[in-house]
A and B are shown apart, each in its own frame.
Chain A
Amino acid sequence: MIKVENLSKAFGPVQVLQKVTFRVKPGETIVLLGPSGSGKSTLLRCLNGLESFDSGKIRVADLELEPASFHQKGRDALLRSLRVRVGMVFQSFNLFPHLDVLSNITLAPIRVLGESSQRAEEKALALLERVNLRGKERAYPESLSGGEQQRVAIARALAMNPEVMLFDEPTSALDPELVGEVLSVISDLAEEGYTLLIVTHQMHFARRTANRVLFLDSGRILEEAVPAEFFSRPATQRARDFLKDLINAGGSHPDSSEIARA
């Protein structure tokens, strides 16, 4: 479903991604872990064309992106068809504050997919049901809690029938008591067979939901493992330090005792 080869990108002198290579099979759930500044978010943003890159190749479904893709003619059409297939959920929700919940969800299906507003609305209501927000369709984003807003954002992305969903720290801006409702929606998606790439610091969630964990540091993939293995026996010192720091910072860890022993 996704194939990334030797992806590299620099912001000025800083090399944010260095020869990143990995694959994602359809239906897989991948969690990207790593200290802040390790390039996780940049990697996600490259996958739907929000960021350009310097070298390497990205393949999503049947679409291929190269550095030149961002400069050649037809770029907009290519990027748009990529983004239609790849849904994205942001840390700060980014709901459109001037539109109510329903219009937030139906805007792109109507404008981009050309759906009739009736069909788009039926679909939106079904999606709201799915994220447990039935009845909120006429509410404006400002009147919703953070957790509700993020669930609307997920419904909004799903309305485009994406083949892949990207989540960029979807719960980092939420109060702790609201985290669960968002994570459980994402877990449901994973179970339903969506292909998901998730940047998160929620270790319990990662361990339970992910098929694989990618650990990034300084723009490189240092470890790629199934969660059970990664969390109990991290292969690199950087990963051990990272997990230790998370625990010290009060983060949850599924096997804190094991790490402490390690």
Chain B
Amino acid sequence: MPRQQRLCSGWLIGRWVSKSRSTSDQISFAFLKSWSIVKPVTAPRFIFLILVSFSTVISAWGDTLDEIRTRGVLLWGGDAEGGAPYTFPDPQNPNRLIGFEVEIAEELASRLGVQQKMVQTPWSTLPQALLRGDFDIILNGLEVTPERQQRVLFTRPYYQFQEALMIRKESQDIDGLEDLVGRRVGTLSGALAQQILEQFPGIDTVLYDDNVSPYRDLALGRLDGVLMDFPIAHYYGEKVPGLKYAGETYGEGQYAIAVRPDDHRLLDTLNALLMEMEGDGSLSRILRRWGLEGDSDVQFQGETSSVLTYLPLLGQAALMTIFLSVVSMLLAVALGLLLCLGRVYGPRPISLLFLAYIELFRGTPLLLQLLVIYFGLPSLGLAFPAWLAGIVGLTLNYAAYEAEIFRGALSSVPGGQMEAALALGLSRRMSIRHVILPQALRVSIPASTNDFIALFKDSSLCSVIGVVELTKQFNILAISTWRVMELGLLTGLLYLMMSYPLSVAARRWERRLARGRRY
């Protein structure tokens, strides 16, 4: 029976899916360390690492366990946006990651005799990223399901849980899922709860990508129930006033560590370590500390002194936004110019080819292009790191727009200019280069600047393939601190500080052109 499902866009600005990498220190640039290991990243070093990672784009993995030992770091994939109690920025000190999985990772790493580092990745793309080789293991609320078992290997579970159903306090007539047939129930996309809901035909399942929005929507009456993993209900559902648990729990889920299908040695080692941790009670201690086992009810406190605590993190993420935008724009202008010249002056086959390119990239969503570049191209042996895939996507997309801007600008140069240049004995190429283009480029400046502003904002789409830029960082912090309003204003202010000077400049150029002063 077909089931009506909607992907609900959440409450946070620009919540698409999400992906990024962050860690205790150096959050936004931390992904680079996964490509060229460790040490703080300073600006010149950053540029250097970019070059280095080109050469490490396609690195075949040998034995992962040996690699971890040689490297001295266990790289584990997770999504800080998943929030408490899994893996999330400490609201008291957002540079630090905390959560019961962080503690498990620390425990495992110390028993392996290595350091550990989380590689920020959108939760829904963790398996693909593991198979790409972005990190060694997944340790982030990944449930063992038959589908996933076909793609990755799972260790023994480190936590068992059930799905908890929450409803509004005033809903008297609801005792279980069967009472919600014909009503709307929210859950996480791709999680065990979604499969359970599918066994109740008639329930209108609404899918989310974060832990906060479903409970908020439930409280607002947009949903009639929310079915989620117990730890999420415990940390998020219980915090929302006016909600309560309804009757029984559902299903039986297990979180386990996932490794690549050929990593049997690593799997055996991890299983042995987990058994050790079960045996000596250290796993239990961790789970109790986070209120996930027994009666201990240690509530996580999401308060902190000043929202400005988060400014350094947001500032770092803003640097990533600037980096993505500036590099992409420069490349897009160059490529766009080439496309435009080929389209206008090139022989017919080139012209048609470039036209097809322009239509293709203007006519399909940037989001789709980014996803294809990041997840699709590796099957052709072209596995870019996320930031590079982001730049490639933004460049290819915006080049199409720039090409059309340049084409318009070229046609604004009077035909007499070309004739005059030719009549002086200049070749066509020289005429374009010395006479036509300089005039056209001046005309195109305001439109290109406006495009640059648009690109600035579109760079937030790179969060879907795992780049921690400004919007992604905002999401991570907002989910773990609940301080959406203050953080939203702060983030908006940062975006404005970056785009406003550009729009002032664009207006100034427009005025100059409007006065007829083209030069």
Interface presence of A83 (CB below 8 A): yes
- In the bound complex, residues from chain B placing their C-beta under 8 Å from that of A70 are none
Interface presence of B13 (CB below 8 A): no
Interface presence of B408 (CB below 8 A): no
The CA of A164 and the CA of B365, in the complex, are separated in Å by: 57
| Given A90-B419, A92-B416, A94-B417, residue A108 in contact with residue B519 (CB < 8 A) | no
Interface presence of B428 (CB below 8 A): yes
Interface presence of A76 (CB below 8 A): yes
Taking a contact as CB atoms closer than 8 A, the residue among A48, A80, A98, A107 that contacts B427 in the complex is: A80
Interface presence of A156 (CB below 8 A): yes
Residues of B476-519 at the interface with A, using a CB-CB cut-off of 8 Å, are: 516-519
A111 near B430 with CB under 8 A, answer yes
B442 near A94 with CB under 8 A, answer no
B424 near A156 with CB under 8 A, answer yes
- In the bound complex, residues from chain A placing their C-beta under 8 Å from that of B420 are 88, 90, 94-96, 153
Interface presence of A140 (CB below 8 A): yes
The CA of A79 and the CA of B423, in the complex, are separated in Å by: 9
- In the bound complex, residues from chain A placing their C-beta under 8 Å from that of B442 are 98
A50 near B416 with CB under 8 A, answer no
- In the bound complex, residues from chain B placing their C-beta under 8 Å from that of A48 are 423
Interface presence of A112 (CB below 8 A): yes
A112 near B428 with CB under 8 A, answer no
A50 near B419 with CB under 8 A, answer yes
B422 near A97 with CB under 8 A, answer no
- In the bound complex, residues from chain B placing their C-beta under 8 Å from that of A255 are none
- In the bound complex, residues from chain A placing their C-beta under 8 Å from that of B421 are 96
Cβ proximity bits B20-52 to A, threshold 8 Å, 1 near / 0 not: 000000000000000000000000000000000
Taking a contact as CB atoms closer than 8 A, the residue among B416, B426, B438 that contacts A108 in the complex is: B426
Interface presence of A157 (CB below 8 A): yes
A111 near B434 with CB under 8 A, answer yes
Cβ proximity bits B407-433 to A, threshold 8 Å, 1 near / 0 not: 000000010110111111111101000
| Given A83-B424, A98-B439, A112-B424, residue A90 in contact with residue B416 (CB < 8 A) | yes
| Given A94-B420, A98-B518, residue A83 in contact with residue B425 (CB < 8 A) | yes
B517 near A108 with CB under 8 A, answer no
Interface presence of B335 (CB below 8 A): no
Kindly report which residue of chain A lies nearest to residue B433, judged by CB atoms. Answer: A111
B424 near A157 with CB under 8 A, answer yes
The secondary structure that dominates the B interface is helix
Taking a contact as CB atoms closer than 8 A, the residue among B426, B428, B518 that contacts A97 in the complex is: B518
Residues of A77-128 at the interface with B, using a CB-CB cut-off of 8 Å, are: 79-81, 83-84, 87-88, 90, 92, 94-98, 107-108, 111-113
B439 near A108 with CB under 8 A, answer no
B259 to chain A, nearest CB (A): 62
- In the bound complex, residues from chain B placing their C-beta under 8 Å from that of A160 are 424-425
- In the bound complex, residues from chain B placing their C-beta under 8 Å from that of A98 are 438-439, 442, 518-519
Number of interface residues of B (CB under 8 A): 23
B428 near A76 with CB under 8 A, answer yes
Interface presence of A191 (CB below 8 A): no
The CA of A107 and the CA of B421, in the complex, are separated in Å by: 9
B419 to chain A, nearest CB (A): 6
Cβ proximity bits B433-444 to A, threshold 8 Å, 1 near / 0 not: 011001100100
The CA of A76 and the CA of B517, in the complex, are separated in Å by: 34
B439 near A97 with CB under 8 A, answer yes
- In the bound complex, residues from chain A placing their C-beta under 8 Å from that of B416 are 90, 92, 94
The CA of A108 and the CA of B424, in the complex, are separated in Å by: 6
- In the bound complex, residues from chain B placing their C-beta under 8 Å from that of A94 are 414, 416-417, 419-420
B272 to chain A, nearest CB (A): 73
Kindly report which residue of chain B lies nearest to residue A113, judged by CB atoms. Answer: B425
B519 near A140 with CB under 8 A, answer yes
B398 to chain A, nearest CB (A): 25
The CA of A5 and the CA of B419, in the complex, are separated in Å by: 25
The CA of A79 and the CA of B438, in the complex, are separated in Å by: 24
- In the bound complex, residues from chain A placing their C-beta under 8 Å from that of B424 are 83, 107-108, 112, 156-157, 160
Interface presence of A175 (CB below 8 A): no
B183 to chain A, nearest CB (A): 67
Kindly report which residue of chain A lies nearest to residue B516, judged by CB atoms. Answer: A142
The CA of A156 and the CA of B423, in the complex, are separated in Å by: 11
B438 near A50 with CB under 8 A, answer no
- In the bound complex, residues from chain A placing their C-beta under 8 Å from that of B417 are 94, 96
A142 near B425 with CB under 8 A, answer no
The CA of A160 and the CA of B425, in the complex, are separated in Å by: 9
B423 near A50 with CB under 8 A, answer yes
B419 near A83 with CB under 8 A, answer no
Kindly report which residue of chain A lies nearest to residue B439, judged by CB atoms. Answer: A98
Kindly report which residue of chain B lies nearest to residue A100, judged by CB atoms. Answer: B519
The CA of A113 and the CA of B430, in the complex, are separated in Å by: 13
Kindly report which residue of chain A lies nearest to residue B517, judged by CB atoms. Answer: A142
Kindly report which residue of chain B lies nearest to residue A110, judged by CB atoms. Answer: B434
The CA of A107 and the CA of B425, in the complex, are separated in Å by: 11
- In the bound complex, residues from chain B placing their C-beta under 8 Å from that of A50 are 419, 422-423
Kindly report which residue of chain A lies nearest to residue B419, judged by CB atoms. Answer: A50
Interface centre among B423, B427, B434, by most A CB within 10 Å? B423
B435 near A96 with CB under 8 A, answer yes
The CA of A142 and the CA of B420, in the complex, are separated in Å by: 17
Kindly report which residue of chain B lies nearest to residue A80, judged by CB atoms. Answer: B425
The CA of A107 and the CA of B517, in the complex, are separated in Å by: 22
The CA of A90 and the CA of B420, in the complex, are separated in Å by: 8
- In the bound complex, residues from chain B placing their C-beta under 8 Å from that of A156 are 424
A83 near B422 with CB under 8 A, answer yes
| Given A94-B416, A96-B435, A98-B519, residue A88 in contact with residue B427 (CB < 8 A) | no
The CA of A50 and the CA of B428, in the complex, are separated in Å by: 12
The CA of A98 and the CA of B442, in the complex, are separated in Å by: 9
Taking a contact as CB atoms closer than 8 A, the residue among B414, B438, B519 that contacts A142 in the complex is: B519
- In the bound complex, residues from chain B placing their C-beta under 8 Å from that of A107 are 424, 426, 434-435
The CA of A140 and the CA of B442, in the complex, are separated in Å by: 15
A88 near B423 with CB under 8 A, answer yes
The CA of A95 and the CA of B420, in the complex, are separated in Å by: 8
The interface of chain A, by Cβ under 8 A from chain B, is 48, 50, 76, 79-81, 83-84, 87-88, 90, 92, 94-98, 107-108, 111-113, 140, 142, 153, 156-157, 160
The interface of chain B, by Cβ under 8 A from chain A, is 414, 416-417, 419-428, 430, 434-435, 438-439, 442, 516-519
Contacts A83-B425, A113-B425 known; 7 new A-B pairs at CB < 8 A: A79-B422, A83-B423, A90-B420, A94-B414, A98-B439, A111-B434, A140-B519
The 15 sampled A-B contact pairs (Cβ below 8 Å) are A76-B428, A80-B425, A84-B425, A88-B420, A94-B417, A96-B421, A96-B439, A97-B439, A97-B519, A98-B438, A98-B518, A98-B519, A112-B430, A140-B519, A156-B424
Closest 10 A/B residue pairs (Cβ): A94-B420, A108-B424, A84-B425, A94-B416, A88-B423, A112-B425, A83-B425, A98-B519, A98-B438, A80-B425
